Amino acid sequence: MLSRAWHVGWPALLVGGAGLAGTGGAGDGETGWTRPPDLIAYLLVVAAAAATLTLRRRPSVTLAGCGAAVVAYLAAGYPVGPILVAVPVASAGAAVAWPAARAVPANVLLGLAVYVAGGVRFGLPYSGVAGTWPLLVLLAVALPTAIGAGVRIRREALADLHEAHVQRVLADERTRVAHELHDSVGHGLAVIAMQAGVALHVLDRDPGKVRTSLEAIRAASRDALDGMRAELGLLRDPGGDGPRRPAAGLAEAPVLLRRIRSGGLAIVADLWAGELPPEVDAAAYRILQESLTNVLRHAGPATAWVSVARDGDELVVRVLDDGRATGAVAEGSGIAGMRARAARLGGTVDVDLRPGGGLAVVARLPLEPPGRRP
């Protein structure tokens, strides 16, 4: 509350304080004043100070009020004094609040009004203090206008930068949500489609296999729904305190492999078991999941070789298959998502067609992502 009052009231304190303290001695040493400061002079100072209270909300009122008070003060024959502080205050406020196309003409009118009032007061030719009057008025209007315009330009630039940052954050978040939905829901649908095909194929001759496929479909659909609900919850209430689904990690890799094997894909796996930073653990799992989902979708009857191993200060995830993948698969949206995940951690994902058929996916993830390095 106090900071807001200061923010609004400091121009009035400046104009009022200087005017009330200095108006009484403004004419000392000068001759020819027709009217010494009296109660009306102080009332005009107070009026100019009061006009500055609307500086931030209604600068037009400030310009009119300050201009009228200063012009009346000069026209009445009072000595040039601190009331003139109201002129640069009003000029600067207008330049901050308005675009230059509006502020400059308004401040020029203010300056002309003050200049003419002083000219009438001093008469021609100017002499003594009056001789500096044109320069004084010019500086009182032009310099604050330039400073105020600079402040406005800086504020607009900062606002543009902030807006650009907000848009970038929103775009990153949309991309992250898209990747999460693609990975969790897309994987679940791929498993469901594969298991449904298996169930239909053996429906009449192997009821046990049908039951296994239906159980796999139920588990995959539940996981996909849980992932989708978690992401939709984040979209609805990004800052909420509600429960969040724990990020998947390599600890769940055996379940992932078992689920995909049940769909008919042969997998040879060698998984390194070690403690990982949470973001590396989650990225490695999602990359492994997306790679195997691609094999399940596109490779046809195939075998996949999976390796997760530590290589120095990197975690290396390899998924090779001997299926019938094409170049289109190697450049699909799932691959782009894997590369984006790795890039956020300072890592890479290389995807190549194997000479004998199939794809080779090799992801390298730093064990100390950029945000965690000292």
Question: Residue 190: which residues within 8 A CB-CB, separation 6 or more?
Answer: 293, 296, 297
The pLDDT, as a whole number, for residue 14 is: 87
- In a 3-state reduction of DSSP, which class is residue 271? strand
**d(Cα 348, Cα 346) in Å, to the nearest integer?**
7
The pLDDT, as a whole number, for residue 306 is: 95
The pLDDT, as a whole number, for residue 370 is: 67
**d(Cα 283, Cα 298) in Å, to the nearest integer?**
22
Give the strand pairing for 303-311 and 266-271: parallel
Q: Tokens for 215?
A: 């159980």
Beta strands in 292-347 (DSSP E): 303-311, 314-321
- Contact assessment for residue 265 and residue 304, using Cβ atoms and an 8 Å cutoff: yes
Tell me whether the omega of the peptide bond preceding residue 125 falls within 30 degrees of 0, making it cis. yes
- In a 3-state reduction of DSSP, which class is residue 347? coil
The pLDDT, as a whole number, for residue 304 is: 92
CATH 3.30.565.10 in the chain is located at 250-374
The pLDDT, as a whole number, for residue 326 is: 57
The pLDDT, as a whole number, for residue 288 is: 92
**d(Cα 263, Cα 54) in Å, to the nearest integer?**
73
Average pLDDT by stretches of 10, the chain with 374 residues = 72 87 73 75 92 90 93 88 92 93 94 87 55 84 94 92 82 69 68 72 75 76 73 62 63 86 85 88 90 80 91 94 68 76 92 86 88 54
DSSP at 78 = P
Torsion of CA 127, 132, 135, 141, to 10 degrees: -110
**CATH architecture for the domain at 250-374:** 2-Layer Sandwich (3.30)
Tell me the helix, strand and coil percentages in the chain, rounded to 5: 65, 10, 25
Q: Tokens for 280?
A: 């590396």
**d(Cα 213, Cα 191) in Å, to the nearest integer?**
10
Angle at 299 between CA 271 and CA 337, to 5 degrees: 65
Give the strand pairing for 348-353 and 359-366: antiparallel
CA distances from 23 to 9, 10, 114, 322 (A): 21, 19, 18, 94
Alpha-helical regions (H) of 59-132: 59-75, 86-97, 100-122
The pLDDT, as a whole number, for residue 243 is: 47
